[in-house]
Structure 1
Amino acid sequence: MIGTQSAPIKRPKRWVKWGIELAIVLALIFGVRAWQQRTLIMGEAPAFNEIDLKGQEISLAAYQGKPMLLHFWASWCPICEVEQGSINKVVEAGWPMVTVAYSSGEAEEVKRYMERKGISNWVTIVDNDGELARQYGVVGVPTSYVLDANGTISFREVGASTSWGLRLRLWFAEKFN
């Protein structure tokens, strides 16, 4: 059979296929992330004046001048428990931080929980009724906000974060905002 042979079929190069697959995965990751953050506020952080677990008055205004981490967590949240080591490292690195115990019971219950977990270096306020969480648009925990030196929200994150990721965001807020 002369003349019946066709040209070989050209298949797309492997890297093109991988590039398309990577683009799909990244679109999914960023799409889910955007959906998770849809209720979180941006711009100027809502002011608050609360009493922490040690009886000290805590206000957002007192933290002006340096970037800070505002971290919402709950005692009933397994992801929050896994993330506690990362939060401890942020505090140990010297970054200002206020944590908010969201719907975790009264102050005494939260204190007992923190004692059981060996958490002693956090500035923690109790948001049992969820009012502060509502002001910040928090609908799930853990949720972290990085505020710049002027009290403007630089970064927001729903879900677990690593200590280096949080510290990098704080550093970025310090250097570039």
Structure 2
Amino acid sequence: MLSSDTQVSQDIVLTSLDGDEVSIKADSKPLVLYFFAPWCQICHMSIGNLQSIYEKNGDIDVIAVALDYTEQDEVVRFTQQHQLTFPVVYGNERLKQELMVSGYPSYYVLNEDNTVESKSMGYSTELGIYLRAL
């Protein structure tokens, strides 16, 4: 079982939808990792709350990590449908296994040491996401 003091490997780099390399690393502020699958209906319902928090708060970073998709176009359509402005990356099995992601959506908050501060799964309100990230 993943404990809340699990440290994420510093060398995980994933590719964004734009083709850029994105390090899964928190810097000077908390990083919310949002794991989703494009077919997940709860992900479709909750991603707007995460987008709102991201737009309203400069004190947190957000990276959405797509998992369990069959084609990259599915991820692109999901991102476009919800007009996401934070980085969206194609996930991999290594990160999924390292963090033991077992369902969607899953939220992991990393501190500046890249340590998991909190994690949760399922629908979350704007306030719920913000409070987890503090």
Displacement of 1:156 = 0.4
Match of 2:67 in 1: 102
The alignment's TM-score, normalised by the length of structure 1, stands at 0.67
CA 1:170 to 1:102, structure 2 compared with 1: closer, same or farther past 3 Å?
same
5+ residue gaps, structure 1, are 1-38, 172-177
Distance 1:123 1:68 in 2: 12
Number of equivalent positions: 130
Cα deviation code 1:134-167 (max 9, x no counterpart): 1210111111001112211110001111111111
Radius of gyration: which is bigger?
Answer: 1
Displacement of 1:113 = 2.8
Distance 1:168 1:113 in 2: 25
Match of 2:18 in 1: 54
Query: Secondary structure of 2:34's match?
Result: strand
Distance 1:89 1:164 in 2: 10
Match of 1:169 in 2: 132
CA 1:60 to 1:52, structure 2 compared with 1: closer, same or farther past 3 Å?
same
Higher helix share: 1
Question: What is the root-mean-square deviation of aligned Cα atoms in Å?
Answer: 1.7
Query: Secondary structure of 1:160's match?
Result: coil
The alignment's TM-score, normalised by the length of structure 2, stands at 0.86
5+ residue gaps, structure 2, are none
Distance 2:41 2:2 in 1: 21
Out of 48, 53, 76, the residue aligned to residue 90 of structure 1 is 53
Over the matched positions of the two proteins, sequence identity in percent amounts to 28
